[in-house]
Structure formats: structure tokens, C-alpha cells
Amino acid sequence: MASDTADIRNGAVLNIDGQLWTVIEFQHVKPGKGGAFVRTKLKNVVSGKVVDRTYNAGTKLEFENVDRRDYQYLYSDGDGFVFMDTSDYDQFTVPSSIVGDAANFMLENQNVTIAMNNGNPLYVELPASVVLEITYTEPGLQGDRSTGGTKPATVETGYQIQVPLFLETGTKVKVDTRTGDYLGRVND
């Protein structure tokens, strides 16, 4: 839908040259001399790139609707991932290019949020952290609890993270989904 700069709000999504940008912050400026303008900080919905843009007051802008809903991850299907809408049980496949790094932290039957625009998935959003089980790591050494060293460990999704030396295969750990960092051990 087309509108102008008066409708800019935090969280609004703009279509600029075919790309979707979310308004992070905006400021209406009325200088003593000259026309009013709107200073914005925009974040690309897909790439995450942040840019500053300034618009003269009254400039026509194209606003887009982005629908964020909860879906359940079912399974990986070749080059895509199958999700189910938890409200009506409809299933659809999201290409791996859109899922991106989120695939490293997704377990079957896990709930995720998917942002959609006109029926097309834009990105998959995970919780800030997930609990994963270590499926392989070198044996832990007794007495290594106080040293700050780390070792590689493979978790159940196949992703490799760095963990403290004393952790062993079968241990459940909390992992930050934004950075892939080890956050701590989880006791059952």
C-alpha cells in the first residue's frame, strides 16, 4: 500500500527498490529554515544490513505487510525444510537459502517464527537459545574444570561448537542461536 512519510512508525516495513526494509527508528525534523524531513534508520529484512535514509516530508513510500507466525519444524526435505502452521496444520517447504544458519540449531518438532510477505517466506527466527545434546566430542580430562580451554563438540543437528574441556558426549548444552556460542550445561 502506498502512503507518505507521515505514516512511518517503528517496525513498519517499506518496499524500497524491490527490497524490504524495517524501520528501526525515525525522527521527524522541522528546521527553522527550509522544508521538514524525516530521518530514518532502516534494516534490510533479509540481509540484516542497516542504513540511514532521509526523506523530504510528504514523500510517497510503499509500505508492505509482514506476517510473523509460529510454525513447527517437521523435517529436512532435500534442499528445503518442511514446516507446519500450528493453527491450521498446513505444511509448506522453505528453501534452505532462506532458512540459512538457523538450520544449525533446529530440531524436529521445534517451534519457530517465520516472517511472510504475500505468502513468501522472508526469514526464520529462532528463540535466543536452544538446548542441544553433544553427539561427539573427545573424552573429557579429569582436572580440566578450572582451565579456560575449549574443544570442538558436534551437537545433534550436526553443527560444531566450542565447549569446555570437561564436557562429554551425551551432555545437553544451551547454545546461543545468534552466535553459536556455548552458554552452559543443562541438567536434566
d(CA 26, CA 75): 40
Residue ranges and CATH numbers for the domains of the chain are 2-64 (2.30.30.30), 67-125 (2.40.50.140), 129-186 (2.40.50.140)
Q: How many CA atoms lie within 13 A of 65 on its CB side?
A: 5
Q: Residue 104 pLDDT > 60, yes or no?
A: yes
* pLDDT at residue 147, as a whole number: 59
CB atoms within 10 A of CB 83: 24
pLDDT digit string, tens, across residues 50-96: 999 999 988 999 998 888 889 999 999 888 999 999 888 899 999 98
Contact predicate 100/124, CB 8 Å? yes
pTM listed for this prediction:
0.74
Q: Residue 144 pLDDT > 60, yes or no?
A: no
Sign, Cα dihedral of 35, 41, 43, 49: positive
d(CA 7, CA 100): 32
